[in-house]
Structure 1
Amino acid sequence: MEGKVLTYIKKPDWLKKDLKRAAVSGPVNAVLAGYSLNTVCNEAGCPNKGECFSRGTATFLIMGKNCTRNCRFCKITKAAPEELNPREPLNIAKAIQEMNLKHTVITSVTRDDLPDGGAGHFANTIFEIRKLCPDVTIEVLIPDFKGDYEALKKVVDANPDIINHNVETVPGLYNAVRPTAVFERSLELLRRVKEINGNLFTKSGFMVGLGEKEEEVIALLYALRGVGCDIVTIGQYLQPSREHYEVVAYIHPDQFQKYEEFAQKIGFQYVASGPLVRSSYHAEDGFSYLKKVKI
């Protein structure tokens, strides 16, 4: 798991093979353009975009394309934040209806410039989806709102089905990888969701291949379970450009399987672990499984 930091180390064959995905689907792009919507699929350069778009799904990115944080792993633009579009929540709902989605994932850039971090905009988006598409299940992937309890409560009270907040990496790498984030704050957010509404599923995800040790991953999984996290996703970090944090190692699929089995053993209700796993990749599968188990 450990190794030297190398620039553009060679991708292993299993990763190259998996990256050969279906071409981007025109109909999805047409809906997104028609409602002037952004996706994390495009802005973050997700390797699964072709597959997901060809299946008629996408992860919506609200509150603009520009992020107020400076995480070194992320491709999303760090620039002056954009004005909120008050029509965006309804446009998201209309797009979901037109795409005939059964499960939707809504995420955002981090908006530290807004008094509530954009929590109200998340809540409005959830409300509009509920009104127009009452049968759609809703997963939101939220920022930390700088630890603001009332901001978080706005989102929880809007009653999505899953609240996801990614810890992204092990605590020991925060200063190097995401210096403006606080690991303990993220854990507290996940704990507070359950405190406010114990019926909601919580979810988190992180990357490997950044230089973490196996024991750090195990400790992270214990920490997430310690705050009641139900779902965890684990994926391989891929360097977006030479300006971003370098890949330290490509983790073998066998190691991902080992992490998955351990996470299941300590009580996670659903685990997705693999080189190309991303937080919202096949998210509907996880929710469908949890609904059956809960019922």
Structure 2
Amino acid sequence: MDTVTTPPRHPEKQHHIDQSPLKKPDWIRVKPSSSPVFRETQNIIRKNRLFTVCEEAACPNIGECWSKKHAAMMIMGDICTRACAFCNVRTGKPRLLDSNEPKNIARAVRQLDLHHVVITSVDRDDLEDGGAGHFADTIYAIRADSPTTTIEVLTPDFLRKEGALETVVEAYPHVFNHNIETVPGLYLSVRPGARYYHSIRLLDRVKQLNPMIFTKSGIMVGLGEKRNEVLQLMDDLRSANVDFLTIGQYLQPTPKHHRIERFVTPDEFDSYKIAAQTKGFFMVSSSPLTRSSYHADEDFKSLCLARGRK
């Protein structure tokens, strides 16, 4: 049986209503997993009372990744303060932060024996620091429990949160990822709570604060963007010295989210990859099923080799 996403978790989120969904092409289909390792990963996540972006964002790669004990942790709850038109995570008033979450994450990382872990979060505009301190606490907890594990953070934009970025950078993650998501012309309809050039400046600021931290960003295609807009976005990211770019197909979580304008072909993804490499990105992952945390461990190793680091 072929599937693409898990069943909608949050049907109450309302955005653009798609009256005529496009038929999914063969290249976007994946098979679910029922392997014992998948169940073991699921049990570890449940026992430590954690959320994962794999589940909350209805990632199509969850079967493959969890069958390898790879899970991307999502901190600060499962309720976001923003309502992006592409995202399956619930929107509303978040709960108080769980002070035990950093050590629970660290325990799960050790139990999963992760050599590389991705830590992401919901947007927490309600917090004075946007959750930056919680990110730092989580990094420190993982490092204390699993000192050889490399740590990648995928953060919000910390819009209007003075000093927040500095707090995360000071904790020294190996990779700082912030997804630009789409071209600037689509921000009002796709990412209305964010600002394109703020996100570019955020990534640039990471390099200014600590040039040794790898920076990474990702976009979705199939939302209505034009090729020349994607190429300009690449130039904007390279002007901010971003090292690693991910490009994947947007998949509509529910009929109430932003519609898919088209399915980008594998050949087009290959063309985007060549263009990005030509522009100077050290690592590029570009395919229909590419996601920020998909094969992140393997990509980090390749990135280190490309930059001549161990």
Give the TM bin, normalised by the shorter chain: over 0.9
1:52-131 to structure 2, matched below 5 A, reads: 52-131=65-144
Q: Give the residue type in structure 2 aligned to 1:125.
A: T
- 2:284 equivalent among 268, 271, 276: 271
SS at match of 2:79: coil
- 1:200 equivalent among 213, 224, 227: 213
CA shift, 1:147, in A, is 4.4
* Contact in 2 for aligned 1:147/1:189 (Cα 8 Å): no
SS at match of 1:195: helix
SS at match of 2:94: coil
Question: How many corresponding residue pairs?
Answer: 289
Q: Give the residue type in structure 2 aligned to 1:192.
A: R
CA shift, 1:6, in A, is 6.5
SS at match of 2:248: strand
Alignment TM-score, normalising by the size of structure 1: 0.96
Give deviations 1:90-128, integer Å, cap 9, x for gaps.
110010001101000000000000000000000000000
Q: Give the residue type in structure 1 aligned to 2:134.
A: H
Q: Give the residue type in structure 2 aligned to 1:119.
A: A
Give deviations 1:215-237, integer Å, cap 9, x for gaps.
00000011000100000000000
* Contact in 1 for aligned 2:129/2:162 (Cα 8 Å): no
1:180 partnered with 2:201 = no
Quote the Cα distance in structure 2 between the aligned partners of 1:113 and 1:102: 33
| Corresponding residue of 2:33 | 22
SS at match of 1:202: strand
Alignment TM-score, normalising by the size of structure 2: 0.91
CA shift, 1:12, in A, is 1.1
Quote the Cα distance in structure 2 between the aligned partners of 1:82 and 1:198: 35
CA shift, 1:21, in A, is 4.5
1:159 partnered with 2:172 = yes
- 1:231 equivalent among 212, 236, 244: 244
Quote the Cα distance in structure 1 between the aligned partners of 2:161 and 2:88: 26
Quote the Cα distance in structure 1 between the aligned partners of 2:125 and 2:71: 25
5+ residue gaps, structure 2: 1-17
1:140 partnered with 2:153 = yes
Q: Give the residue type in structure 2 aligned to 1:189.
A: L
Quote the Cα distance in structure 1 between the aligned partners of 2:61 and 2:110: 23
| Corresponding residue of 1:31 | 44
Give deviations 1:163-209, integer Å, cap 9, x for gaps.
00001000000001111110011001000000100110000000000
* Contact in 2 for aligned 1:139/1:160 (Cα 8 Å): yes
* Contact in 1 for aligned 2:86/2:257 (Cα 8 Å): yes
CA shift, 1:286, in A, is 1.3
SS at match of 1:153: helix
Change (3 A) 1:102 1:53: same
Quote the Cα distance in structure 1 between the aligned partners of 2:248 and 2:160: 26
5+ residue gaps, structure 1: none
Quote the Cα distance in structure 1 between the aligned partners of 2:22 and 2:303: 38
More helix by share: 1
1:13 partnered with 2:26 = yes
Q: Percent identity?
A: 49
CA shift, 1:7, in A, is 2.6
